[in-house]
């Protein structure tokens, strides 16, 4: 028999290195004679979209077009230390550094021409020439350090992370009680990652996270025997394919984070946190079994269903 269930998983997640560890980002904005800005930033973009986010923040702050900003990234002979693309920290931390650098630049631009937008290369070139005439710097550095402090282990007081990202996911599953097979039919995700800088990319992060979460919940298991991983290929370490993915619906609760760049917070790691718990809760809702071990393979689910049936039978016999 196939039984359906609904489950939820909720989380809060501190982004950044945390616990007082120096969490610093730097960025440099430069105006050039070519009628464009150069943004030097050390974001490693491995598909997480950091480069687009930095460009958008720079464009917003400088009041210019994204096409007029060259991004020079990752070349350590050219860029300052931005910290790692880890801990879901780039949008918040490095975004702030980019914003601070660009604000310094825009303040000087305002001094020479006022609040005017810079729409063309000629506009930017005019500023560049005015800067040279007035002996104004053409390069500005931004620095941002997240405010965390070490937690006092005796009192439990401190500020271990700042800021936190929040979210909840709903999973709908179908469990085959004869085979133990679990199908995920639907995921609905709602996240508060502050103001979303790039909605298309943010959705991509959430859907990708959901796919990793589904793999984590029902497929992926590293089998280790005497220190050696036994399933080292995609034929026995199974990850979701396009056929395994249900529809993922994404909602953003864009609550402004006052310390974030334009109110933004981090999203990378949080994207896969609530999926697996939501799926296990949905399995419980469907067939009444509490799994405490990942993944919910056919064997484990079937064994747990059998065990439950036996328990239920014993209860009935005792009455």
Partner 1 sequence: MVEVTITVNGTSYTRKIHPLMRLLDFLRDELKLKGTKEGCGEGECGACTVIMDGRTINSCLVLAASCDGKEIITIEGVGGAELHPIQRAFLEVGAVQCGYCIPGMVLSTKALLDKNLDATEEEIKEAISGNLCRCTGYQKIVEGVKLAQTKMKESRGEACECGRS
Binding site for partner 1 (CB under 8 A): 46-49, 200-201, 203-204, 207-212, 233-235, 239-243, 245, 247-248
Q: Choose between 5 and 209: whose C-beta lies nearer to partner 1.
A: 209
Tell how far CA 84 is from the center of its chain.
Answer: 14
- Gap between the Cα atoms of 140 and 128, Å rounded: 13
Asked if the bond preceding 221 is cis, omega within 30° of 0, the reply is no
| CB closer to partner 1, 220 vs 309 | 220
Smallest distance from partner 1 to CB 305, Å: 29
Contact between 96 and 77 (Cβ < 8 Å): no
For the bound state, the minimum distance from the C-beta of residue 185 to partner 1, rounded and expressed in Å, comes to 14
Q: Quickly list DSSP for 46-95.
A: SSS-HHHHHHHHHHHHHTB-GGGEEEEES-TTTS-----S-TT-IIIIIH
Q: CA torsion 60→64→69→74, rounded to 10°?
A: -10
Residue 259, judged by CB atoms within 10 A of its CB (0-12, 13-18, 19+), counts as middle
Q: Which residues contact 30 (CB under 8 A, 6 or more apart)?
A: 37, 38, 39, 40, 138, 139, 140
Minimum distance of partner 1 from residue 48's CB (angstroms): 7
Judged by beta carbon, residue 1 or residue 243, the one nearer partner 1 is 243
Choice between 148 and 250, CB closer to partner 1 = 250
Contact between residue 16 and residue 93 where contact means Cβ atoms under 8 Å apart? yes
Q: Which is nearer to partner 1, 210 or 291 (CB)?
A: 210
Q: Which is nearer to partner 1, 100 or 271 (CB)?
A: 271
Inter-CA distances, 149 with 21, 46, 83, 164, Å: 8, 29, 18, 14
For residues 54 and 60, what is the distance between their CA atoms, to the nearest angstrom?
Answer: 10
In whole angstroms, what is the distance from residue 53 CA to residue 94 CA? 10
Least Å distance, CB 241 to partner 1, is 5
Of 269, 293, 299, 309, which is the active-site residue?
269
3-state secondary structure of 287: helix
254 carries an active-site annotation: no
Name the residues annotated as catalytic: 269
């Amino acid at each position: 028999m196939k039984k359906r269930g609904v489950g939820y998983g909720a989380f809060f997640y501190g982004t950044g290195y945390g616990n007082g560890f120096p969490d610093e980002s730097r960025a440099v904005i430069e105006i050039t004679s070519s009628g464009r800005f150069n943004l030097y930033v050390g974001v490693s973009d491995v598909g997480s979209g950091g480069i687009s986010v930095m460009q958008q923040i720079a464009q917003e702050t400088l009041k210019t077009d994204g096409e007029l900003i060259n991004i020079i990234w990752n070349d350590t002979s050219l860029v300052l230390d931005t910290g790692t693309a880890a801990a879901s920290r780039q949008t918040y931390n490095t975004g702030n550094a980019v914003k601070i650098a660009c604000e310094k630049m825009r303040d000087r631009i305002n001094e020479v021409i006022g609040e005017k937008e810079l729409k063309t290369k000629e506009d930017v070139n005019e500023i560049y020439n005015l800067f040279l005439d007035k002996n104004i710097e053409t390069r500005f550095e931004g620095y941002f350090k997240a405010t965390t402090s070490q937690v006092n282990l005796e009192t439990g007081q401190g500020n271990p992370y700042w800021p936190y990202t929040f979210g909840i996911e709903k999973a709908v599953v179908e469990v085959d009680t004869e085979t133990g097979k679990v199908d995920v039919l639907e995921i609905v995700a709602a996240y508060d990652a502050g103001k979303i800088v790039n909605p298309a990319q943010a959705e991509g992060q959430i859907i990708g996270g959901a796919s990793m979460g589904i793999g984590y919940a029902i497929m992926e298991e590293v089998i280790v025997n005497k220190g050696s991983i036994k399933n080292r290929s995609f034929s026995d370490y199974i990850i979701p394919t396009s056929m395994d993915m249900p529809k993922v619906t994404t909602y953003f609760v864009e609550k402004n984070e006052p310390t974030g760049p334009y109110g933004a917070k981090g999203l990378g790691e949080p994207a896969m946190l609530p999926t697996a718990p939501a799926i296990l809760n949905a399995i419980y809702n469907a067939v009444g079994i509490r799994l405490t071990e990942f993944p919910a393979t056919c064997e484990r689910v079937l064994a747990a269903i059998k065990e439950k049936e036996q328990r239920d039978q014993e209860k009935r016999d005792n009455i």
